[in-house]
Structure 1
Amino acid sequence: MPMADGIRAGRKEWTGLAVLLLACLLVSMDVSVLYFAVPFLSRELEPTATQQLWIFDVYGFVLSGLLITMGAVGDRIGRRRLLLIGAAAFGLASLAAAYSTSAEMLIAARAMLGVAGATLMPSTLALIRNLFLDDRQRGTAIGIWTGAMAGGVALGPVLSGFLLEHFWWGSVFLVNVPAMVLLLVLAPMLVPEFRPPAGGRFDLMSAFLSLAAVLPAVYGLKEIAAHGFGVVPAASIVAGLLVGVVFARRQGRRPYPMLDLALFRDRVFAGSIALNVLTMFAMAGMTIYTTQYLQSVLGLRPLVAALWSVLPSVAIAGVAPVAGALARRAGAPRVMSAGFLVGAVGLASMVFVGTDSALWMILVAATVYAGGVVTVMSISTEQVMAAAPPERAGTASAVMESGTEFGGALGMAVLGSVGAAIYRSQVPDTLPEPARETLGGAVATAAHLPADAARAVLAAAREAFTTGMHGAALTGAVILVAASAVTVPLLRRRPARPAARPEPRVPVSR
């Protein structure tokens, strides 16, 4: 059915999308931009082992913990306003990180980057929901947004490696500053403000509860992924879940809740979020294996490995927009179901990758499974944003992105644990203790052994690691096949809704 006059987006809206992509690209890049900077940071700032972990992790923890809160803030004060506040804060925090003089200062700056990033991510997706009211155009725009988010994580290590070869370690943060200045200049000109009607006073207690629910759960999952099952991480997950129950009960009693639980009564909304969690489960869970395989099994230098790992991202750059077009023709549930199956085929094909396989084999397998899950991610994101009322677009996008963070952490924990258990069962008992725990431990041990002993240790560890990777890949494939089977019944067609109307707009000063 043709859309009403004035609904379709024009050149200005598409240019505004390019401005919004700048923000989400940099936020996603900052997740991985420190991968090559650790030796430089260690020499300059001399962090302890605990401080080094916090330098890496505090950004993701704060980001994931504040997404729902910041989505609700944007729904109240205006999404463009929150975007501009976040851009200014992101630029200032990047300056502080670049010129940090101590590990403590860098940790604090990374935490502030997480706060600013939490304002930018839901704002960009919510503004896309408001800029593109035509279903077809919105699907294309969200597909491009999805590709930018996935590409940012892949580009982070490459950009980091390039900058560190030519500049000092702070340059990996300083590169954010001109981009944020550009965003501050262009967004007021190209992105109109959208502010829903007033929704009551902001609920600080709900903001605290959402943070207290998400942070312990994500922390526990990441600790299990890094160090295996333990009492403290498990207790942390349970505590987060219990606080989450308290948060949900409070939302059900509030006249103006931060998170409207009525959204989850829509099968498309709730089902799409659940399916998106499974896509990130598979993608993040297997990324830890592909990166280690390239570096520690094939022996590629970190920057070379990072450059090769970008190849699947480039290959699937056009998948997300094409997925939207296919969904309009064949129906979103069917295309998502097919995407899960493609992802499962890619994961299953990794069992043919051995310790002496050609590089192209792992790259093809990664491209296939990434193409499948990106198809699902793109369509599920569009489904969530279409199902949510326009005045709840900020909260809906925050819930979506929180699920993405949770799925990634869960995938690393579960698939990481599967691979680690297989590794320990396959590696010979005669190897030194560190080599029996992880492949990284085997590489470190081999560096201090005579040549023949080092080769024997590395050969055994690489074989055990590859077997563990096969087990994790098959586990992920089974989960994706199960997801494919439930997608169509889970997302059965809902009754037709009236065409969306533009929200009331706050006049934009020129």
Structure 2
Amino acid sequence: MVTTSEAINRKAKSKRWFGLSVLMLPVLLVTVDNTVLGFALPKIAEALRPTASQQLWMIDAYSLVLAGLLVSMGSLGDRVGHRKLLLIGSMGFAVVSVLTAYSDTAMQLIIGRVCMGIFGAMLMPSTLALIRSVFEEREERRLAVAIWATTLTVGSALGPLVGGVLLQFFDWGAIFLLAVPVLIPLLVLGPLLLPESERDASGPLDPISILQSMVALGSIVYSIKHGASDGVDLAVLITFLVGALAGWMFVRRQLRLPVPLMDMALFRSGTFSGSVLINLMSLAFLVGFVFFTTQYLQIVLQMSPLSASLALVPGQIMAIMVGMAVVPVAQRMPVHVLIPVLMAFAGAAFLLVASMGSSLAVLVAAFALLNIGVGAIATVSNDVILSAAPPAKAGAASAISETAYEVGVVLGTTLLGGLVTAYYRTGLQLPAFLSDIQAALASETLSGAHHVATGLVEDQAQQLMQQAGSAFEGGIELVSWVAFSLALMAILIAWLTLRLPKSQPAECH
């Protein structure tokens, strides 16, 4: 009888971990998608001729819609079941990805990214919520969350490598077609391996709250983008104020609703809110770094997509190793000590670039340092966030965690990428031999300058790219100093907010 019981337990355990491996497929895909497009920008810019603003929107439209809908989809999953929502999202994501791969214009690609964001929002909260349903034992769940969080970081870090390999042999549309082979196993095996989550039918979704959250994010991001590309003007101030007002109204509404879209009570815990903020900032650092590094390696240093992606492999390896190795460390070290130590690695990465320049060796070393910090922070912070929520609210807590992740992605490209773009536009010294049209195109983006250079004689092309590369490198230096300062701020925030109450069990570390 004992033997039979042990066999049943082993079979159940194997099913749980096999189910986790299937759950990681959409996590890997969605996070790879956040950074792979940045790597493909030079080829997309050559094919579709987007403006500077359109280039940023190609990346951020996806993350922006994703962030705006994550809380809504997390609550919807609590009501209808996260497995059902996961499968619907997977099917929609795959179909839209195929259509986006064959875009003929920049606007078509941006619209496709918006639709991908809608279905992507169904995927991410469901994966973390299903982990809570599948793994009831604390230590198993801690390891499962570590794998999930490591996959988040690895996916973002693998984006350049995946993009480099695909772009070396295929057209840029291949980065979107990748969704089909990745999601088919989930659609086939998901119903067999994943149990449906506990449902919470306490109330309907609130469309006003959904609208307020999307207006808040959309307006603020637009104001930052517009300010980076065209300078601070009345439109920037108005859209920022609209976003801030919508955000304030959203918070007030959540506090008054009997069944809020976002449970603001969770933020009363300093540990929870601090972890969410640190999670957001760390992902902004990673995505912002990838945004400017991939362009610099390919356009300024003239590396092939494959060579540029291989240069970042050491950092990707560090993300995998540290993300898993931090689990036993997190059981012994207080979180308010551990996360500042990890954030110091991220700060050191940007300090290295700011003080030593943007050579290949410096960027490779900085990317490795950055992944040491971000990879481990994702594991620790998400474990804290998930542990703080009751089982029936797992989707809501997961959605908050994922919203922080996606807002971090948006801020990484919008703030850090926007700063690089703004410095490039103001610092670029254009050669006198360019026509007005060539000058306008070259001054918009680094990709635009490269496109103009391909139509010039060798000496003129070299002179233009030298000026463009110098301006872009100056933008990288500026952003690195800003990011270093923000990392110091994040260290202080973590030290002050992540101290667990004496009455709280140590296992919540």
TM-score range, shorter chain: 0.7 to 0.9
- Following superposition, the deviation at residue 442 of structure 1 comes to 4.4
**Does 1:150 find its partner at 2:153?**
yes
8 A Cα contact 1:228 1:417, kept in partner: no
Q: Which moved more, 1:187-196 or 1:168-177?
A: 168-177
More helix by share: 2
8 A Cα contact 1:64 1:118, kept in partner: yes
SS in 2 for 1:194: coil
Change in CA separation of 1:199 and 1:496 when aligned onto 2, cut-off 3 Å? farther
Structure 2 residue identity aligned to 1:470? E
Q: Which moved more, 1:423-432 or 1:388-397?
A: 423-432
- Which residue in the other structure is 2:469 paired with? 462
Residues 396-416 of structure 1: per-residue CA shift (max 9 Å, x gap) = 121222222223333444434
Residues 125-184 of structure 1: per-residue CA shift (max 9 Å, x gap) = 122233334443333322222222233234345444544555565543333223322112
State the distance in 2 between where 1:159 and 1:272 align. Answer: 29
Residues 321-356 of structure 1: per-residue CA shift (max 9 Å, x gap) = 22232111111121101011121112111135446x
- Following superposition, the deviation at residue 35 of structure 1 comes to 5.0
State the distance in 1 between where 2:45 and 2:351 align. Answer: 39
Change in CA separation of 1:490 and 1:467 when aligned onto 2, cut-off 3 Å? same
**Does 1:290 find its partner at 2:293?**
yes
SS in 2 for 1:350: helix
Structure 2 residue identity aligned to 1:242? L
- Which residue in the other structure is 1:365 paired with? 366
Structure 1 residue identity aligned to 2:224? L
SS in 2 for 1:258: coil
State the distance in 1 between where 2:422 and 2:178 align. Answer: 40
- Which residue in the other structure is 1:399 paired with? 400
State the distance in 1 between where 2:363 and 2:279 align. Answer: 24
State the distance in 1 between where 2:104 and 2:464 align. Answer: 40
- Which residue in the other structure is 2:411 paired with? 410
8 A Cα contact 2:101 2:173, kept in partner: yes
Change in CA separation of 1:325 and 1:262 when aligned onto 2, cut-off 3 Å? same
Change in CA separation of 1:179 and 1:282 when aligned onto 2, cut-off 3 Å? closer
8 A Cα contact 2:67 2:403, kept in partner: yes
1:175 aligned to which of 169, 175, 178: 178
Residues 175-220 of structure 1: per-residue CA shift (max 9 Å, x gap) = 3223322112212222211123421222222223222222222333
**Does 1:490 find its partner at 2:497?**
yes
- Which residue in the other structure is 2:344 paired with? 341
Q: Which moved more, 1:26-35 or 1:198-207?
A: 26-35
SS in 2 for 1:486: helix
Change in CA separation of 1:235 and 1:471 when aligned onto 2, cut-off 3 Å? same
State the distance in 1 between where 2:294 and 2:244 align. Answer: 31
1:317 aligned to which of 315, 320, 326: 320
RMSD: 3.3
Residues 52-107 of structure 1: per-residue CA shift (max 9 Å, x gap) = 77655533332222111101101111111211221222233234435668877655
State the distance in 2 between where 1:113 and 1:312 align. Answer: 28
Change in CA separation of 1:204 and 1:291 when aligned onto 2, cut-off 3 Å? same
8 A Cα contact 2:167 2:305, kept in partner: no
- Following superposition, the deviation at residue 257 of structure 1 comes to 1.2
Q: How many pairs align? A: 490
SS in 2 for 1:193: coil
TM-score normalized with structure 1 length: 0.84
Q: Which moved more, 1:112-121 or 1:196-205?
A: 196-205
1:28 aligned to which of 28, 31, 34: 31
State the distance in 1 between where 2:344 and 2:379 align. Answer: 16
Q: Which moved more, 1:465-474 or 1:246-255?
A: 465-474
What is the identity percentage for the equivalent residue pairs of Structure 1 and Structure 2? 37
TM-score normalized with structure 2 length: 0.84
**Does 1:473 find its partner at 2:480?**
yes
State the distance in 1 between where 2:475 and 2:54 align. Answer: 30
State the distance in 1 between where 2:473 and 2:315 align. Answer: 20
- Following superposition, the deviation at residue 22 of structure 1 comes to 0.4
- Following superposition, the deviation at residue 112 of structure 1 comes to 2.7
- Following superposition, the deviation at residue 119 of structure 1 comes to 0.3
8 A Cα contact 1:347 1:366, kept in partner: no
8 A Cα contact 1:67 1:122, kept in partner: yes
Change in CA separation of 1:415 and 1:228 when aligned onto 2, cut-off 3 Å? farther
